[in-house]
A and B are shown apart, each in its own frame.
Chain A
Amino acid sequence: MSCSPFDLRDYYFKELAENERRLTEVHVKTCTHCREELDRLRGTETALLTLPDEEIPQRIGFVSDPVFEPSAFRRGWDALWGSAARLSFASAAMLSIALMVFALTRPTPQISAPAPAIDRTALAADFSRRVNEAVQKAVVESEARQARQTQDLLAASEKRHELETQAMMVRVQEYLEVEKKRLNTLILASNDAGSPNGEAR
């Protein structure tokens, strides 16, 4: 049973309030029993800390992982502009809207004389051809841009992987050398302990 004014274990783990800590500290200075109890706690903690942390066998990284895109809005936006088909659709839709707005807002010409006959079929065909050309051009550009981005990402990823592999190999080499030295030390110590007169060889 501890005679400390406050829990000695709380004191050891620095979990006491400042005034409580000071009172306990004063008590511990004059109490052999409590000092021995603190020594036992320290001994147990020191033994536990002989277990070192291990290195994580594989680094964790989430670069370019689609699941990490930040928000639903951002994901929707990227999905819209990240797809060639959707980009083409959006381009065609915007072009159609622009043409409709232009047609609706165009001022009506004053007719002072009979207008010349307009070949509406040819006009429609020409309009359709232009729209198709614009859409095809947008699709080609989008695909080329995506291919470039993919190649850049692949190159960067391969380079990083190569650097990480090299770094890991260096660490493994260093680790093996340390282990080898430790093993040699153990063997020497074992030989010393096994010799009949205990003399070092």
Chain B
Amino acid sequence: MILRAVEDADLIRKARRGDVEAYNLLISRWERRVYNYLLRIVVNREDALDLSQDVFLKAYQNLRKLDDPARFAPWLYRIAHNEAYSLFRKRRPQGETEELQPETMEGEATPGGNAVFPIELTLAVSSALGKLTADQRETVILKIYQGFKFEEIAEIVAAPVSTVKSRLYTALDLLKAELAPVKARGVS
């Protein structure tokens, strides 16, 4: 992990000097993770791909503003978070005051598709995540699927650590209750 962090920092320094190939290598390391983070937030593959491209474009344009290259990951995810919420705001009807929710439409992506078994649990998890608020879901994604520390999540979503913990633990309680019947039926 330490070696990898040093390598990323080196690539960032090269990219800052105008080395586009170094930046492309950096992209290849992070694009899958950023895409999956966005996919689980916006629940639409096309939007997730478009947003991923925008994220890496903005990151390159603002690379010089990154004070500490070791903090690249939370900095990059902060951009991704802003892009996703900007999309939500654009698509929210005027005057609507309900909480921001991802787009739900016919043919929407079920993260993971049907590539894993048991399919029942996969669908139950996907459905349970869909019942969380956008903030709770994002916190679960950043902690469980992306493995960030609370401090980093707080930086990404621009909220205090205590709020992040509260969102995560409330969400986990809800998920536990939602998934209990499925697990009780013996799917594991």
Contacts and interface: CB of A to CB of B under 8 A. Distances in A.
A11 to B, nearest CB: 13
A86 to B, nearest CB: 21
A49 to B, nearest CB: 7
A73 B20 CA distance: 17
A62 interface: yes
B91 interface: no
A52 B61 CA distance: 31
B65 interface: no
A68 interface: yes
Contacts of A13: 143, 150
A58 interface: yes
A47 B183 contact: yes
A43 B183 contact: yes
A45 B149 CA distance: 16
Interface residues of A, number: 37
B131 interface: no
A58 B32 CA distance: 10
Residue from A13, A51, A52 with most neighbouring chain B CB atoms (10 Å):
A51
B179 interface: yes
Contact of B121 (A45, A47, A182): A47
Interface residues of B, number: 53
B38 to A, nearest CB: 10
A41 B179 CA distance: 12
Contacts of B183: 43, 47
- Is the contact region of chain A dominated by helix, strand, or loop, or is it mixed? loop
A118 to B, nearest CB: 53
B56 interface: yes
A133 interface: no
Residue from A9, A10, A59, A60 with most neighbouring chain B CB atoms (10 Å):
A60
A6 to B, nearest CB: 13
A70 B13 CA distance: 12
Contacts of A52: 112, 115-116
Contacts of B57: 62, 67
Interface string B31-67: 1110110011000010001001100110011000000
A182 B126 CA distance: 21
B27 A60 contact: yes
A47 B144 CA distance: 11
A126 B71 CA distance: 65
A71 interface: yes
Interface string A6-39: 0001100101000000000000000000000000
A119 interface: no
Interface string A48-59: 111111111111
A157 B161 CA distance: 46
A40 interface: yes
A48 B144 contact: yes
A63 interface: yes
15 contacts: A9-B165, A48-B129, A51-B116, A52-B112, A53-B33, A53-B145, A54-B45, A54-B109, A57-B45, A60-B52, A62-B20, A63-B20, A67-B57, A68-B20, A182-B117
Given A51-B112, A57-B45, A70-B17, 12 more contacts: A9-B172, A46-B188, A47-B124, A48-B125, A48-B144, A54-B45, A62-B56, A62-B57, A65-B20, A67-B57, A68-B20, A69-B18
In order of increasing CB-CB distance, the 8 nearest A-B pairs are A70-B18, A51-B112, A56-B35, A53-B36, A44-B176, A60-B31, A52-B112, A47-B179
